[in-house]
Structure 1
């Protein structure tokens, strides 16, 4: 699929609002090879069924409603898709591959529960967030339950996949803590941003690819290349998400536009705007320095200024640099349909913020 054709994807496909879209993404991004499409489509359906079961198998009906809420509202299911694509470089029919896909999504869902509590978010995937429905304390514990469920499932994975999952859990929590404490005095805020993004976003995409490759018995060189691809794709994905927050409406993205901006989240465009010296961004720098309390129109004015800012353009350039590194990592992999799909996924990420 070309970059131009990606622009034609419906908003629900590009942004994941309201329903799982990995199967549709696979159909549009993957090569037109029926065996590959059917195998991956069936595996995604199996993983989805298992995910719904495992997020709603608590012993109490009220707990089941909370822990299954976010899985039921939909999402891109990008992490399960990555697990299954990576498994193509080994034996995709290996026992536990679907379980590995569910583990990756459980960790992701848990992080969303926690993020929404920290950000006081009211909407996720186009529906009310768990914290909006049940309160912060219950939502945080719901996220913890999903993490524990993922850990229980991961115990049955092959040793390399289990070890990678354990390391990734540590990286994700450290990334969340680094975001909360902020950079040390005198430290480079942009460098701190990339440390946070590496833990919060890139680590999980890399893990998804790694556990898929390990569980399917792929060669070590292929697994290492896939992990590196995931690291770079994840950083690009986070930058694209930052730009999406500034550019896309709630109807398109499933989240309030500018939610991170209002919450004071130090996204890459915000950091680049604060540190920039370009005269064209002077008003934007002043507005960011004043903060949301500067007036009723602060939010709308900031979003308007960001739309044509040098800071957003610089962030987009950095995103494309990471995508170039991701594509380079694929160079050692055999020319399978899965490799072509991963390459096309870079275009998808690049265009998420459009």
Structure 2
């Protein structure tokens, strides 16, 4: 399957009742087992309805508008999809699986509200961000409301799922704080990057798989394997996003090429280029040291150099190492259609930068 085929999924706002991005992605990941596809597609539609309800059930209509904003603008719903795929290794119809999927997305949405406040981001999912519409304080409190809503829903989950959710919330906040603080005096920048990414990105993907497995009654050994898979997939996913920013035209990725580079985001290729001692990366190192203030051609030249840089090749190699570890975590799992989809998801991540 080509990258173009994998990307042939809706990226705009999807009305409740229609198949969301995750359901379309699931069809691409396969396998072509009608019972499996129908069950997962129906479950995703149910999760979408429950999510829209949960994000807009505040008594004050002004709060409802704020807390339901990002859920209404769309999103990939990758985390609910992972919950449902993990539940296939137990009883996917067991009570609370849909709630576990909504909890995972609520925590994710809350983190987006907080990230946009910290980054002063004007848009999210192609629409105005909550902070742009209501200001930083209201947006931050909206994120807090979503976290509280997730905590309330988590109370009905099985103990192992509840414990993992609580542990992950702590990891996410720690990752955000570590990112704001920057590397410590004795900490190398690449190591810091992976510790931040483990908390901000990988932790929630791992949690999604874990709570899906626990809530469905899957064996503990299976849940542990799925959590390990999620950790590695999350790290690879973030590296792929970093590479997309530098290598993919806006027509393919959906956002301005090099936007993170212009904003000074310390992505993995940037950090590797800064630390590189390769003579071929000398000009790129000088450009990164000068920054965007160096002139109008800075952005164009930096992107051109990243397209052939050894740092970019190294970042791609590190991404594939993480994907290989993710696939290895699946090896001992039963050969269910869900395992096929999780394995294909690794190919999807790799193809995003192909």
TM-score, normalised to structure 2's length? 0.94
Where 1:156 maps in the other structure, the secondary structure is coil
Q: How many pairs align?
A: 349
Where 2:6 maps in the other structure, the secondary structure is coil
Show the counterpart of 1:110.
Answer: 110
Shift in CA distance, 187/10, structure 1 to aligned 2, threshold 3 Å:
closer
Where 1:7 maps in the other structure, the secondary structure is helix
Contact 2:9 2:25 in 1 (8 A): no
Contact 1:121 1:132 in 2 (8 A): yes
How far 1:172 moved relative to its partner?
0.4
Show the counterpart of 2:17.
Answer: none
How far 1:247 moved relative to its partner?
2.8
Q: Matched residues in 2 for 1:73 and 1:259: separation?
A: 21
Residue 174, structure 1, aligned to residue 174, structure 2: yes
Show the counterpart of 1:71.
Answer: 71
Show the counterpart of 1:8.
Answer: 5
Give the unaligned 5+ runs of structure 1: none
What CA RMSD, in Å, does the superposition of the two structures yield over aligned residues? 1.6
How far 1:249 moved relative to its partner?
4.4
Contact 1:94 1:215 in 2 (8 A): yes
Contact 2:6 2:348 in 1 (8 A): no
Contact 1:229 1:327 in 2 (8 A): yes
How far 1:170 moved relative to its partner?
0.2
Contact 1:119 1:263 in 2 (8 A): no
Shift in CA distance, 68/248, structure 1 to aligned 2, threshold 3 Å:
farther
**Mapping for residues 81-160 of structure 1, pairs under 5 Å:** 81-160=81-160
Show the counterpart of 2:273.
Answer: 273
Q: Matched residues in 2 for 1:151 and 1:219: separation?
A: 24
Shift in CA distance, 55/178, structure 1 to aligned 2, threshold 3 Å:
same
Show the counterpart of 1:257.
Answer: 257
TM-score, normalised to structure 1's length? 0.94
**Runs of 4+ more than 6 Å apart:** none
Show the counterpart of 1:326.
Answer: 326
Q: Matched residues in 2 for 1:52 and 1:308: separation?
A: 44
Where 1:257 maps in the other structure, the secondary structure is coil
Shift in CA distance, 258/145, structure 1 to aligned 2, threshold 3 Å:
farther
